[in-house]
Amino acid sequence: MNSSNQAIRLQKFIAQAGVASRRKAEELIAQGRVSLNGKKVTEMGIHVVPGDEVRVNGKLIGSEAQKVYYLLNKPKGIVSTAKDEKNRTNVTDFVPDHQRVFPVGRLDRETTGALILTNDGEFANFMTHPRYDMPKKYRVSVDGKLTRAISSQLESGVMIDGVEYKGIEFEMVTYDLKKNRSQFTVTLHEGKNRQIRKMFAHFKIPVLKLHRYAIGSLELEDMKIGMYRELRPFEVKKLLLTAKGEI
């Protein structure tokens, strides 16, 4: 195993190269899809030093790739993947660097709103790892009247099929008697798959619309559906500080 003051773990090197998040990089290594100086690597304890040749799926990678960060207002019906086996339009098709970026977390096909795309695996890890707290805000519309009894349970957290879901915070709850629907905003502090939809389905409440408008301090503001913009350096820094609990 290589060692020096400049040595870093192989999975971290892959993440810094923008190939994948660190967790995904570990999967690639375990699958035998990574080689170091011409030899296949399947162990996690390997280190990389300057001058080493690292390949993923046979393609040479480097850790000095320019980092890019985009905020996309995801349209409905678009899949949150970098590649889709069914060749459907995906979120990376909306930004210039679509061949080398990946989404930070996911929004399901029917959900619209704020999604970050980047080639910075370390940044993505801070944004999505369960031990970091990155609050996300959604505008929600549901069928029927949301009672205080149900919202209190959702604020306390619920157990669904043996999985614990942390509580969500409600704001601006309104009820349209004519349309028989409730509208409100919620803040989510974790990112389990389809979490909001599952939590409301647990109480047999259909979610009609779900739109994420903020990730931490980052808001869509006046961005139209399908639009994107590059994040400013101070925005990236603030997101990282938020995830680390330093602000």
Task: Give the residue numbers marked as catalytic.
Answer: 108
For residue 186, what are the contacts with CB-CB under 8 A and spacing of at least 6?
A: 137, 138, 140, 168, 169, 170, 171, 196
For residue 243, what are the contacts with CB-CB under 8 A and spacing of at least 6?
A: 126, 127, 132, 133, 134, 216
The strand pairing partners of 159, in sequence order, are 164
Helices marked H in 85-204: 121-128, 148-156, 195-201
The strand pairing partners of 187, in sequence order, are 137, 169
Residue 138: which of 117, 111, 175, 174 has the closest Cα? 111
Do residues 37 and 1 make contact, with C-beta atoms less than 8 angstroms apart? Answer: no
Return d(Cα 63, Cα 82) in angstroms, integer: 20
Do residues 236 and 69 make contact, with C-beta atoms less than 8 angstroms apart? Answer: yes
